[in-house]
Amino acid sequence: MLTRREFLWAAIAAPSCFGLTGGLSLAEDLREGAVEPTVEEALAAIRTLTSTAATSVTAERRAACDVIQDSVDRLRAAEFEEYFKSSPEEAKRWEDERAVLRFLNASFDKVLAEFRETTVADGGVVLWQIYNMGYLVKTPTQSFAIDVKHRRAPELTPLIDFLLVTHKHGDHYTDAFCDSVASAGKPVVTNFIDNEWKTPEEGREYRFGDCSIKTRLVDHNDRLRKFVTTYEIDCGERSSGTTILHVGDACNVGQLVATKPIDVFIPHLAVGLDVPKAVNETIRPKTTLLSHILELGHLIDKWRWSYQYGFNICEKCANDSVILPVWGEKYEARQ
């Protein structure tokens, strides 16, 4: 009897025997020249990425990104899906073999540990990058998550007061996490789950504890109109009104609205949104956390934007306040 993983490998080797088609992306090419890092190289890169900060991109940090990128460029989308669905034991095997998955898991441990030991001082908030556009946020009074996709996401349920999701695409939420948060009796805000928190087309305002949230529906692209909810989150008096604008996969800079000064702006770096214009002309945030790199559910050579792509957009913005967080990154916003 083949395990799921053995089946997948066999299918990749001989797709016709298994009657599988391009839908599983079996023909996906690995990047030529990319070599899977050794365990020692992976551990060293993870150590560097978790002990340095996105606000200071040193040559050492860039080199560590290159190590993880080699592993990213050897992990097929179908393999990532397989890993995502796997049992903890199977997942551990994947993580032992693939630097990128080792990092994805280790960065989640880092977030959990830091979240528990962090007391947020008045006048600010702390954010952790999870994966893609996913963030965990802790204010002086509350905690919440936005757009979290991670195989271990339900472990966050006891830590948060509410969950926000920008849109119904699999790289921005998981059913397991939404169900887990809802089962705990906590609000799950989306524009697609029929519960009391659903955002209607005209947008809606919410108040959770001392957090005030304004939502709007905007376009993802020409076809998916009013598909993405943007969240303008005023984190409350104790945070001195620190405000986060998370815009998910919003593509049109003209549709983005900020009703007050934005401290932390979280956009997709490559969905067609004019990020330099938002940063320098319209939203003018204090800090931008450029997001949506390394979406492993996308094919290696299609829409899986690399670290280098992210650094290039940072450069294009020509603004020191635009940074590229990596998985597990902790960012403190202070007034």
Q: Which of 249, 264, 267, 288 binds Zn ion (CB under 5 A)?
A: 249
In whole angstroms, give the CA distance from residue 249 to residue 141: 28
In whole angstroms, give the CA distance from residue 172 to residue 147: 4
Q: Kindly write out the interface string for residues 88-127 of this chain, putting x where it contacts Zn ion by CB under 5 A and - elsewhere.
A: ----------------------------------------
Residue 210 CB contacts under 8 Å (≥ 6 apart), including other chains: 139, 141, 142, 235, 236, 237, 238
In whole angstroms, give the CA distance from residue 305 to residue 311: 11
In whole angstroms, give the CA distance from residue 314 to residue 324: 7
In whole angstroms, the minimum distance from the beta carbon of 248 to Zn ion comes to 7
Residue closer to Zn ion by CB (options 106, 250) is: 250
Residue closer to Zn ion by CB (options 24, 165) is: 165
Q: Kindly write out the interface string for residues 171-210 of this chain, putting x where it contacts Zn ion by CB under 5 A and - elsewhere.
A: x---------------------------------------
Strand-strand pairing, 287-289 and 228-234? unpaired
In whole angstroms, the minimum distance from the beta carbon of 47 to Zn ion comes to 29
Q: Which stretch binds Zn ion (CB under 5 A): 73-81, 218-226, 242-250, 311-319?
A: 242-250
Q: Which stretch binds Zn ion (CB under 5 A): 241-249, 274-282, 308-316, 318-326?
A: 241-249
Q: Which stretch binds Zn ion (CB under 5 A): 224-232, 244-252, 254-262, 280-288?
A: 244-252
Interface size with Zn ion, residues (CB under 5 A): 2
Residue closer to Zn ion by CB (options 95, 249) is: 249
Joined together, the tokens standing for residue 52 give 């340095």
Residue closer to Zn ion by CB (options 171, 234) is: 171
In whole angstroms, the minimum distance from the beta carbon of 56 to Zn ion comes to 28
- 147 interacts with Zn ion by CB under 5 A: no
In whole angstroms, give the CA distance from residue 33 to residue 73: 10
In whole angstroms, the minimum distance from the beta carbon of 175 to Zn ion comes to 16
| Contacts of Zn ion in 154-173 (CB under 5 A) | 171
Q: Which residues of the chain form contacts with Zn ion (CB under 5 A)?
A: 171, 249
